[in-house]
Amino acid sequence: MPDQIPHAPSPPLAGRRVLITGGTTGIGLAVAHLLVRQHARVFVVGRRPSTLEAALHNLRAAGGEVQGLPIDTVRLDDLHRLFQEIDRWGGLDVLVNNASVRGTPFWDEDARGAEHLMQVNAGGYVTCAHLAARRMREHGGHIVNVGSLAAEVRDGPYATYVAAKSAVRGFSMALGRTVRAEGIRVSLIEPGFVDTPMIDVPVEEKQQRKKRLEMLEPRDVAEAVLFCLTRPPGVDIPLLQIQPLR
């Protein structure tokens, strides 16, 4: 009898339903590309319709099963509309909380700008986690919050940004302990300096910093997300920090 060639095992994320906020550029888009290569079903959201359409086109061209909506994560009506669409999509296994806005030096920001930053970079994470966890409660799931090493380094000029990322750290740690009994894992990924559209420096300077190993690529953070999502069921990763070598 001829030897039978065994079928290759399916990737661990095959068919998993993944929602990525801030999924149309930078880190979020890199996460989406990596997860569709793992045959996950991916739903991306971002604020700008044109950027969303470009991201969906690129992801589908790469063979991904992808959906998307233009959503502002600080607008509760938008989020209810999003999660109604998620329910029609079939439910949710993974939330990657990633929507964020850049920080402004304290003396250069006004109170309205500071409030908006806190709403996006912290409040949006909390609200999305609330809506996601209630959909995961019956079958388990995984919430990945993309934070920042700013919560630990605490660079002086960007006090409001540090406050938001520190809030994400505290929320993630407490949420993980709260939902663990329901089969929901929570991982916080805190990257250092990453080349994203939020880093407002010339392209040439970014390239030099990456050559000197002083800056991460978005795909480096995406690999960290994939690592957290593919651990064995009995393994929990509450916090994963990554930073440039220098």
74 within some domain: yes
57 within some domain: yes
Token pair 């969906």: residue? 56
Residue 39: which CATH number? 3.40.50.720
Phi and psi based region of residue 91 (left: phi greater than 0; alpha: psi -120 to 50; beta: remaining) = left
3-state secondary structure of 237: coil
Residue 225 host element (H or E): helix 218-229
* 178 C-beta neighbours (distance < 10 Å), count: 13
Checking if the pLDDT of 147 tops 70, the result is: yes
Task: Specify whether the CB–CB gap between 26 and 218 falls below 8 A.
Answer: yes
Calpha distance 134→143 (Å, rounded): 12
Whole-number Cα distances in Å, 5 to 8, 11, 12: 9, 18, 20
Calpha distance 126→132 (Å, rounded): 10
149 within some domain: yes
Residues of the domain holding 219 = 17-242
pLDDT digits (tens, 9 = 90+) for 77-110: 999 999 999 999 999 999 999 999 999 999 999 9
Q: What is the pLDDT of residue 4?
A: 53
10 within some domain: no
8 within some domain: no
In the DSSP assignment, the letter for residue 238 is S
Q: What is the pLDDT of residue 83?
A: 98
Which backbone phi and psi does 70 adopt, to 5 degrees?
-80, 115
**Catalytic entry in 28, 161, 171, 175:** 161
Task: Specify whether the CB–CB gap between 117 and 160 falls below 8 A.
Answer: yes
118 within some domain: yes
Burial class (CB in 10 A: 0-12, 13-18, 19+), 138: exposed
Q: What is the pLDDT of residue 9?
A: 57
Percent of the chain at pLDDT above 90?
Answer: 84
4 within some domain: no
Structure tokens at 121: 């970079």
Burial class (CB in 10 A: 0-12, 13-18, 19+), 89: middle
pLDDT digits (tens, 9 = 90+) for 187-234: 999 999 898 887 877 888 888 888 898 889 999 999 999 999 999 989
Task: Specify whether the CB–CB gap between 129 and 95 falls below 8 A.
Answer: yes
Looking only at Cα atoms, what is the longest distance across the chain? 78
Torsion angle of C-alpha atoms 130, 136, 141, 142, degrees rounded to 10: -10
Q: Chain centroid to CA 242: how far? A: 14
- Is 161 noted as a catalytic residue in this protein? yes
Which backbone phi and psi does 66 adopt, to 5 degrees?
-135, 140
12 within some domain: no
Domain count within the chain: 1
Percent of the chain at pLDDT above 70?
Answer: 96
pLDDT digits (tens, 9 = 90+) for 43-86: 999 999 999 999 999 999 999 899 999 999 999 999 999 999 99
Of 193, 176, 178, whose CA–CA distance to 242 is shortest? Answer: 193
pTM score, two decimals? 0.92
Phi and psi based region of residue 183 (left: phi greater than 0; alpha: psi -120 to 50; beta: remaining) = left
